[in-house]
Amino acid sequence: MIQLKQLTKKYGKGDKITDALTSLDLSIKKGEIFGVIGHSGAGKSTLIRCMNLLERPTSGEVWVNDVELTALNKQQLQHERRNIGMIFQHFNLLSSATVYDNIAFPLQLAHANKEHIHARVSELLALVDLEAHRDKYPSQLSGGQKQRVGIARALASDPQVLLCDEATSALDPQTTDSILKLLLDINKRFNLTIVLITHEMHVIQSICDRVAVIHQGGIIEQGPVTEVFLKPQHAVTRDFIRGEANVGDWIHTVGGNGTNGAFSQTVKITFLGEQTYDAILSRTAREIGVDFAILQGTISTIKDTPYGQLFVRIEGEADKINATIAEIASKGLDVEVID
């Protein structure tokens, strides 16, 4: 659906050049919600603005829906852009226009007739639940309501792709969740491809199918959110995963000290899917005859998939501990021994 090939973007001239993106390749499928996460200055906005050529890449190709945008003239590009909606962190609404007129604006630009505009705007107002606010001005709306206007406006021309640049970063956690829910809803309803740029792992975890981590203008890691989230390969990725970074040291200090002088071994156990709710750990410990203490744990969901991640100290005789680890692993759980 979206393909970036060897995308490079440099800002500035001479000795003041910033390499914002360097030979970046990325492929996003139709109907998926694809997240891009990265620290400030990593190149996120540049990347997403290159997807609709708001920013022209220095070199490389941008393909959307089997059309190479980087090969089009101005008029062709204007036409293709109707396929691509965009929403922004600070909403970018017209302050002197009502909610209704903000949503109608792209349709007026495309010279749609009045009846069509009226029907479409009414439909969109219902979709984003703003019918009661149609005659208000942006200054009379909350942040969440403003972003709903932004979403309705972006969807006015019935695009196939929605680009979101930090669309929830200016919102409180509850409002963020309601906007994410709305995005998920329109993704499912219209099979809309959504690209979502953020610096918050929570946003990725809530609604994205796949994620790429961007660092210094390049993609350092990508894959299904479950994989990247539960088995981060890169230090930058681990930084984004809350709690992970803080686990290390104290876990090592409590490992090795089983009660009553028994052997002990600390392990990190990752459950995914329905097995998250199974009693695999306690059943195995009882059958083999070891004890265990949960040192730290999370049970949550990644999009619709339940997962659990537990740091567990297993106590008992050495061979029984090893048998326990082998047995848990044989049940398909991911077990990592912590030294």
Q: Please report, as ranges, the residues that interact with Mg ion according to CB under 5 A.
A: 44-45
- Nearest-approach distance from CB 149 to ligand ATP, in angstroms: 22
Please, which residue, 46 or 276, has the CB nearer to ligand ATP? 46
The pattern of x and - marking residues 174 through 203 that bind ligand ATP according to CB under 6 A reads: -------------------------x----
Give the type of residue at 227.
E
**According to CB under 6 A, which one of 26, 28, 42, 325 is a site residue for ligand ATP?**
42
Please, which residue, 41 or 297, has the CB nearer to Mg ion? 41
Pairing of strands 193-198, 161-165: parallel
Please, which residue, 38 or 258, has the CB nearer to ligand ATP? 38
Pairing of strands 33-37, 291-302: unpaired
In this structure, how many other beta carbons lie within 10 angstroms of the beta carbon of residue 181?
A: 12
Length of the chain: 339
**Measured between alpha carbons, how far is 219 from 236 in angstroms, rounded to an integer?**
11
**Measured between alpha carbons, how far is 139 from 142 in angstroms, rounded to an integer?**
8
Choose the contact partner of 195 out of Mg ion, ligand ATP, none; CB within 5 to 8 A by kind. Answer: none
**Using an 8 Å Cβ cutoff, are 182 and 21 in contact?**
no
Q: Is 12 near ligand ATP (CB under 6 A)?
A: yes
Cα dihedral sign, 201-228-218-23: negative
Q: Is 41 near ligand ATP (CB under 6 A)?
A: yes
Please, which residue, 12 or 256, has the CB nearer to ligand ATP? 12
Cα dihedral sign, 46-52-56-62: positive
Q: Is 20 near ligand ATP (CB under 6 A)?
A: yes
Q: What is the chain's alpha carbon radius of gyration, rounded to the nearest angstrom?
A: 24
- Nearest-approach distance from CB 42 to ligand ATP, in angstroms: 4
Task: Classify 143 as helix, strand or coil.
Answer: helix
What residues have CB less than 8 Å from 74, skipping those under 6 apart?
none
Number of H helices, E strands in the chain: 12, 14
Please, which residue, 46 or 284, has the CB nearer to ligand ATP? 46
Q: What angle do CA 211, 146, 200 make, to 5 degrees?
A: 25
- Nearest-approach distance from CB 44 to Mg ion, in angstroms: 5
The one segment of 33-41, 75-83, 187-195, 275-283 that binds ligand ATP by CB under 6 A: 33-41
- Token pair for 167: 């669309």
Choose the contact partner of 210 out of ligand ATP, Mg ion, none; CB within 5 to 8 A by kind. Answer: none
Q: Is 40 near ligand ATP (CB under 6 A)?
A: yes
Q: Is 90 near ligand ATP (CB under 6 A)?
A: no
**Using an 8 Å Cβ cutoff, are 127 and 192 in contact?**
no
Q: Is 255 near ligand ATP (CB under 6 A)?
A: no
Pairing of strands 33-37, 210-215: parallel
**Using an 8 Å Cβ cutoff, are 151 and 186 in contact?**
yes
The pattern of x and - marking residues 44 through 83 that bind ligand ATP according to CB under 6 A reads: xxx-------------------------------------
- Token pair for 69: 């945008």
Please, which residue, 44 or 133, has the CB nearer to ligand ATP? 44
Determine the residue with CB nearest Mg ion. Answer: 45
- Nearest-approach distance from CB 52 to ligand ATP, in angstroms: 14
- Nearest-approach distance from CB 212 to ligand ATP, in angstroms: 12
Q: Is 35 near ligand ATP (CB under 6 A)?
A: no
**Which residues here bind ligand ATP, judged by CB under 6 A?**
11-12, 18, 20, 38, 40-46, 199
